[in-house]
Chains A and B, each alone.
Chain A
């Protein structure tokens, strides 16, 4: 088959899908949104879903993945289930505020959007577009670059709901906000949702995102999260991915940072069929700090690809990338870390590290640093390693009476811990520690927290 033809076909099929559902997708009587959607479709048709020849998607054949015929649901479907019965992504000892997003739609458990006493606004993005249009459209689709990024364009054309968070000036929101993206359906489904997090000057917040599949159907998720961190704000975002082997998950995070802001993201990929995480950070003011960390654990035929792009636009900013992976059996991993330092961005400090352990001969890892440095007074470093567990250390432990399996676990756990230790909230850190340990011990199945007998 002619590959070019096939690719045009994928793009074409999404464009016709849009046309076919125009009435629903453009029905909101919201010209602002509608014009963005129309632009997004135009740009998707022009840019096209990337194929095998795309440098950016070299290791994840996104065109092939999206080629599959899937169901799309453009209005929330009522699915009766008792959340407590089947699912608990609970974090004990953390006072969290849990928000559920089911198949891409905010799950209404009361108000669709709430304004808290401290002025924080939280709830459904769709509802926010109606209740707080000025707030939303000041930032919505401003950072996701849908004019140059076909995957972001795809999401922008179709995504209808997700979570909106607004933290006003100088408000330090103590409670962690936990967003649980659930996939539960009776048929294979493609889901596209969208989050928008706005932190005003001096604001602080912590968000935990859990991605979970609750039924065995094949899911393809393409999600976009936009973050705007204004001057001197501080934002932590932790993502825990735990979907089943048949799932395809593409996450796209666009983080816009203004002067003196700090954003830390930890992406913990425990399970999934195919995962591709894109993180793009714009350091758009002086003295910003960005920490992008990730841990991925994969076995069987799983595939995990992390792609990070740190854009140093202004002077005196610091960025740290640390991604670590453990791959077993036939797992495939990829990491691409791009650091772009613009001519203006003197005194940039940009660090990147990607360390990987292969537990089997068949597992494969591709690691690619990409440095584009156009300023002269910068400190940059990058390093990538792909290795095995240290045999000397294993023997040392065994010689103290610790059996081989346990010794291996201790070493893997130690390897993973460097990333986990950077999670800022102690209770969350402990919980993730526990999840990772379970995962490494092989005790965390995709149905870990799920009592539905969906096997």
Chain B
């Protein structure tokens, strides 16, 4: 589904990603861990097509197409979803209007007819119960005045509505209480199918109790320095990153 090959990325002429290789197949769940500032969000941004993230080398292939050739909205329409580490507030744009526009853009792309206001509200109602998001939140402006946890739940709610093929969740679990954590995990697990995949960026093993990853990768200073199964996450939880960074410097 996704093939990242020797990806090098600059931000403001400073190299942040220094040659990432990663393959994600349909049906898989990948977890990416790593210390602060190692480049996890930068990788997510490169996948979503942020302008200030400039790819200097390497390639990304998504469903057989060149992802780097697509602008952000086309990537989304092709099924990529990024759950933001810091979702932005958009005063004046209502959640309903925002999501209805997004859904209908997607339907247009698939040559489907636009949903009417009533049909959309029905769909929204369904998905709301999946995520357990408070009804009042969807009546408000996008993320405006939402608490940290509410913003994260809102990301999952949007994901549930858009039903992406490849979900990239950037620390969606940070700042969540235990119930919200279950909701997030539930959202991801509901989406799981042989045709879909997810990349979960997290600092905590506890999310991975609910979403069991097929692979765990450690990103360090712009490189994936270690990959393994779900037991790697447990090991990191126990020992921290030091033993890996020592391993690298020893080499």
Interface residues in chain A, defined as those with a beta carbon under 8 Å from any beta carbon in chain B: 390, 392-393, 395-404, 406-407, 410-411, 413-415, 417-418
Instruction: Say yes or no for B61: interface residue by CB 8 A criterion.
Output: no
Indicate if the CB atoms of A402 and B90 lie closer than 8 Å.
Answer: no
Q: In whole angstroms, what is the CA distance A418 to B87 when docked?
A: 22
Interface digits, B62-105 against A, CB 8 Å rule (1 contact, 0 not)? 00000000011101110001101001111111000111011001
Top 4 closest pairs, chain A to chain B, by CB: A414-B92, A401-B76, A400-B102, A398-B72
Closest to B80 in A: A399
Q: In whole angstroms, what is the CA distance A17 to B106 when docked?
A: 64
Indicate if the CB atoms of A402 and B93 lie closer than 8 Å.
Answer: no
Closest to B106 in A: A401
Instruction: Say yes or no for B139: interface residue by CB 8 A criterion.
Output: no
Q: List 20 contacting pairs A-B, 8 Å CB cutoff, sorted by A.
A: A390-B88, A390-B90, A392-B88, A393-B90, A395-B50, A397-B98, A398-B76, A400-B76, A401-B73, A401-B76, A401-B77, A401-B162, A402-B73, A402-B105, A404-B73, A410-B98, A410-B101, A411-B92, A411-B93, A414-B93
Contacts of B73 on A, CB cut-off 8 Å?
398-399, 401-404, 407
Contacts of A401 on B, CB cut-off 8 Å?
73, 76-77, 102, 105-106, 109, 162
Q: How far is the CB of B62 from chain A (nearest CB, A)?
A: 15
Q: How far is the CB of A406 from chain B (nearest CB, A)?
A: 7
Q: In whole angstroms, what is the CA distance A396 to B50 when docked?
A: 10
Contacts of B51 on A, CB cut-off 8 Å?
395
Closest to B99 in A: A400
Interface digits, B119-146 against A, CB 8 Å rule (1 contact, 0 not)? 0000000000000000000000110000
B72 partner, pick from A395, A410, A415, beta carbons under 8 A: A395
Q: In whole angstroms, what is the CA distance A414 to B141 when docked?
A: 9
Q: In whole angstroms, what is the CA distance A414 to B84 when docked?
A: 22
Contacts of B72 on A, CB cut-off 8 Å?
395, 398-399
Q: How many A-B residue pairs have CB under 8 A?
A: 76
Q: In whole angstroms, what is the CA distance A294 to B105 when docked?
A: 32
For window 216-242 of B, CB contacts with A under 8 Å fall at none
For window 42-72 of B, CB contacts with A under 8 Å fall at 48-51, 71-72
Indicate if the CB atoms of A397 and B90 lie closer than 8 Å.
Answer: yes
Indicate if the CB atoms of B105 and A414 lie closer than 8 Å.
Answer: no
Contacts of B105 on A, CB cut-off 8 Å?
401-403, 406
Which secondary structure characterizes the binding site on chain A?
helix
Q: In whole angstroms, what is the CA distance A403 to B108 when docked?
A: 12
Instruction: Say yes or no for B198: interface residue by CB 8 A criterion.
Output: no
Q: In whole angstroms, what is the CA distance A417 to B97 when docked?
A: 13
Instruction: Say yes or no for B205: interface residue by CB 8 A criterion.
Output: no
In the complex with contacts A395-B72, A400-B158, A401-B106, A406-B84 CB distance below 8 A: no
Indicate if the CB atoms of A414 and B91 lie closer than 8 Å.
Answer: yes
Contacts of A390 on B, CB cut-off 8 Å?
88, 90
Q: How far is the CB of B61 from chain A (nearest CB, A)?
A: 20
Contacts of A413 on B, CB cut-off 8 Å?
92-93
Indicate if the CB atoms of B50 and A402 lie closer than 8 Å.
Answer: no
Contacts of A392 on B, CB cut-off 8 Å?
88
Q: How far is the CB of A387 from chain B (nearest CB, A)?
A: 13
Chain A CB within 10 A, most for which of B48, B76, B87 = B76
Indicate if the CB atoms of B106 and A393 lie closer than 8 Å.
Answer: no
Contacts of B109 on A, CB cut-off 8 Å?
401
Chain A CB within 10 A, most for which of B75, B84, B89, B91 = B91
Q: How far is the CB of B111 from chain A (nearest CB, A)?
A: 15
Q: In whole angstroms, what is the CA distance A396 to B105 when docked?
A: 15
In the complex with contacts A400-B76, A402-B105, A393-B98 CB distance below 8 A: no
Q: How far is the CB of A398 from chain B (nearest CB, A)?
A: 4
Indicate if the CB atoms of B91 and A399 lie closer than 8 Å.
Answer: no
Indicate if the CB atoms of A414 and B90 lie closer than 8 Å.
Answer: yes
Q: In whole angstroms, what is the CA distance A407 to B162 when docked?
A: 17
Instruction: Apart from A399-B81, A403-B73, A411-B90, list 11 A-B contacts with CB within 8 A.
Output: A396-B87, A396-B88, A398-B73, A399-B73, A400-B98, A400-B102, A400-B162, A401-B77, A401-B105, A404-B71, A414-B93
Q: In whole angstroms, what is the CA distance A415 to B87 when docked?
A: 19
Q: In whole angstroms, what is the CA distance A450 to B57 when docked?
A: 56
